[in-house]
Structure 1
Amino acid sequence: MSIAIDMDGKVALVTGAASGLGRATALKLAQAGARLWLVDINSEGLNETKSLLPQGDHQVAIVDLADPEACHAAVDAAIAHFGQLDALCNVAGLIYLANSPDMPRPLWDRTLAVNLTAPFLLSQAAIPHLLKVNGAIVNVISSAAFIGEAYAAAYCASKAGLLNLTKAMAMEFQKQPIRINAVAPGGMITNIVTNFRPPEGCDLELLKRFSGMRGTVEVEDVADMVALLASPAGRGFHGNCISIDAGITAG
């Protein structure tokens, strides 16, 4: 990406930072000069991410985003340490595949808690601080927000909800100095894919329907867009969802 992303002197909170897109986003933002508050439930992965970053004031916090109180506490801790927050990147997400009649209620609840409720609660806590600095929220959605995917009812529901949450909050703050956007990647080679477990007795033909003809999307390309939208270089975007899915939702 040729657009210069400058985050010098700015602070970003990145969820899901222990691996995959969260880690790649953290790297992009740190390289652009940001100081980072990195959030994940995986302490080993968080520390590995931190070790990969250029030198700077980067902090890690072990947080279970399914815990509502922990979401507000994560933002409060970042503010307490840095005194400011310029960008919130809601990257964390999870998926459990299941035949819908057999989907355990706890897995449904956890999927919506992490993928939808946590971004709202983090945003709720962050917005007063972001308004002070013309800051940004970037939500990572999925091509699953636009198309039905067999055996992924909870995931699809959570991502479609996050898409409209992004738009609704963008309209609410249309007259105030904050930018709220989303990125919708297609399939990427991340820990979600490597831990992919089709449900027992599933129809493989149905699973293949949401595998793009052009293959997977590069994590680096999606991280570039997240970093752009989180930075002042993304000033022209508000209420947008940028799809990076190699054409899977084209038709």
Structure 2
Amino acid sequence: MPTAINMTGKAALVTGAASGLGRATALALGRAGADVLIVDVNAAGLDETAEQLRALDVRAETYAVDLSSADNCRTAVAKAVEAFGRLDALCNVAGVIFFSHTPEMSAADYEKTLAVNLSAPFYLIQAAIPHLLEANGAVVNVTSSAAFVGEAYVAAYCATKAGLTHMTKALAMEYTHKPIRFNAVAPGGMMTNIATNMKMPADLDHSLIARFSGLRGLVEVDDVAEMVAFLASPAAAGYHGACINIDKGITAG
């Protein structure tokens, strides 16, 4: 990062923090001095992340919950404020992806994709805005290179990530004259638990998959996490309505 990240005395909420990019983001914020409420459906993974955060001498609280419920999103924000007395940053990292031939995608998988990837960030933001305004805080949404290029077999995922990217810009315009910042980070493929547990139908056309596979390989999780933490911090005061692509050139052409 071009500017040192200092989150001492500040509090953050990070979703999807039981593993992968969410965990890396929580740790990046912890190293910068932030107290962190970490949220995920995976309670055991959250406990591991919390242990690593506490080793950094910051406070860490966990909330194991399914964010596909609007009420759970609102409760997550309330728990962060209750635990730390403030909220300075909301990092929407949690996400799901289901590969499928579009005619064969189940309604449950479609609805889950929309709920976790698009609705949950909205409800979290909605609940967090009053606290972030008070703290001159920031929202960072993790979208994807799939927001900018069509990717075969993941129509619902692409739609949610494009929607979240545009939601970020719309919120930035709505709050242009208020003390709150909205930004997004759009990574390419990373080696996370989502990638390792990904299930694909056996009869996919792999030449189509190759079209959105980076020629330079996978993106480093820590590189993305550091950018999320930077945008969440006062060091990124000049960023508002931005979407930073970290995809090793996937969306370049």
TM exceeds 0.5?
Answer: yes
> Residues of 1 paired with 2:131 and 2:198: CA distance?
37
The aligned residue for residue 245 of structure 1 is 247
> Residues of 2 paired with 1:197 and 1:149: CA distance?
16
- Is 1:154 paired with 2:156? yes
Q: TM-score, normalised by structure 1?
A: 0.99
Q: Which runs of 5+ in 1 are unaligned?
A: none
Tell me how far 1:204 sits from its aligned partner: 1.0
- Of 220, 226, 231, 2:233 maps to 231
Q: Which runs of 5+ in 2 are unaligned?
A: none
The aligned residue for residue 71 of structure 1 is 73
Tell me how far 1:2 sits from its aligned partner: 4.4
SS in 1 for 2:186: strand
> Residues of 2 paired with 1:133 and 1:47: CA distance?
28
> Residues of 1 paired with 2:235 and 2:63: CA distance?
27
The aligned residue for residue 211 of structure 2 is 209
SS in 2 for 1:249: helix
The aligned residue for residue 5 of structure 2 is 5
The aligned residue for residue 50 of structure 1 is 50
The aligned residue for residue 142 of structure 2 is 140
The aligned residue for residue 191 of structure 1 is 193
> Residues of 1 paired with 2:206 and 2:59: CA distance?
47
Q: After superposition, where does 1:110-129 map in structure 2 within 5 Å?
A: 110-129=112-131
Q: Deviations over 1:101-128 (max 9, x none)?
A: 0000110000010000000000000000
Tell me how far 1:12 sits from its aligned partner: 0.1
- Is 1:173 paired with 2:172? no
SS in 2 for 1:183: strand
Alignment check: 8 A CA contact 1:10 1:85 kept: yes
> Residues of 1 paired with 2:19 and 2:206: CA distance?
28
Q: After superposition, where does 1:94-113 map in structure 2 within 5 Å?
A: 94-113=96-115
Of 28-37 and 191-200, more deviation after overlay is shown by: 191-200
User: What one-letter code is carried by the residue in structure 2 that aligns with 1:38?
Assistant: I
How many residue pairs were aligned? 251
User: What one-letter code is carried by the residue in structure 2 that aligns with 1:9?
Assistant: G
User: What one-letter code is carried by the residue in structure 1 that aligns with 2:67?
Assistant: L
- Is 1:88 paired with 2:101? no
User: What one-letter code is carried by the residue in structure 1 that aligns with 2:25?
Assistant: T
Tell me how far 1:200 sits from its aligned partner: 3.2
User: What one-letter code is carried by the residue in structure 2 that aligns with 1:93?
Assistant: G
User: What one-letter code is carried by the residue in structure 1 that aligns with 2:33?
Assistant: G
Tell me how far 1:55 sits from its aligned partner: 2.1
Of 192-201 and 222-231, more deviation after overlay is shown by: 192-201
Alignment check: 8 A CA contact 1:151 1:199 kept: no
Q: Deviations over 1:172-230 (max 9, x none)?
A: 00010100000000000001110122123111111111101000000111011000000
User: What one-letter code is carried by the residue in structure 2 that aligns with 1:230?
Assistant: A
Q: TM-score, normalised by structure 2?
A: 0.98
Q: Deviations over 1:121-143 (max 9, x none)?
A: 00000000000111000000000
User: What one-letter code is carried by the residue in structure 1 that aligns with 2:193?
Assistant: N
Q: Deviations over 1:31-79 (max 9, x none)?
A: 1000000000000110111111212211010010111110001101111
SS in 1 for 2:26: helix
- Is 1:34 paired with 2:42? no
The aligned residue for residue 17 of structure 2 is 17
Of 40-49 and 51-60, more deviation after overlay is shown by: 51-60
